[in-house]
């Protein structure tokens, strides 16, 4: 029998289920730490993925609730790319990954989990970060609590801002 302890999921299981857009609700809330919003720009925010592929998995999310890049204005598109590069620098400073996967999933056929609100994924990668669990057990192992990753990223953000 396989057992994977994921105590953090109980909050999701028992918590109130959103009927609206999870991104819009997080971005409209007053508590960035509770929603893992790392940085807010004028048109776009940087936040941690609540259900990451690996620790440090971040999302670049525009405030505009649209499902496709072609629906965004040029300023928002520019801000999304600028914030993507800020997220890359932030993850390099905080976590020293060996590489990144950066991309979008537009539409259900492309694998979009949240189809109604376009967003960019920034997934840090480390050599040897894949083990037998996803291959044999169809299970991902995230080696760090989300709160710990959030604190690391905020500390790196403050460090980067002080150097600027």
Residue range 60-69, pLDDT digits in tens = 999 999 999 9
User: What are 36's two structure tokens?
Assistant: 């893992």
Domains of the chain, each with CATH number or no CATH: 9-163 (3.30.428.10)
- Catalytic residue positions, numbered: 119
Span of 12-21, 26-35, 45-54, 131-140 with lowest mean pLDDT: 131-140
Predicted TM-score (pTM) of this structure? 0.81
């Amino acid at each position: 029998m396989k057992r994977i302890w994921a105590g953090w999921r109980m909050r999701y299981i028992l918590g109130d289920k959103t009927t609206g857009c999870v991104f819009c609700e997080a971005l409209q809330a007053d508590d960035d730490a509770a929603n893992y919003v790392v940085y807010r720009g004028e048109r776009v925010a940087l936040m941690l993925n609540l259900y990451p592929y690996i620790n440090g998995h971040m999302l670049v999310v525009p405030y505009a609730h649209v499902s496709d890049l072609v629906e965004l204005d040029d300023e928002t598109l520019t801000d999304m790319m600028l914030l993507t590069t800020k997220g890359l620098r932030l993850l390099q400073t905080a976590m020293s990954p060996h590489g990144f996967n950066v991309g979008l999933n537009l539409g259900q056929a492309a694998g979009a989990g949240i189809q109604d609100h376009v967003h960019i994924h920034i997934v840090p990668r480390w050599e040897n970060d894949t083990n037998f669990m996803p291959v044999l057990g169809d299970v991902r192992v995230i080696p760090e609590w989300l709160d710990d990753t959030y604190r690391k990223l905020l500390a790196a953000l403050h460090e980067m801002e002080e150097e600027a």
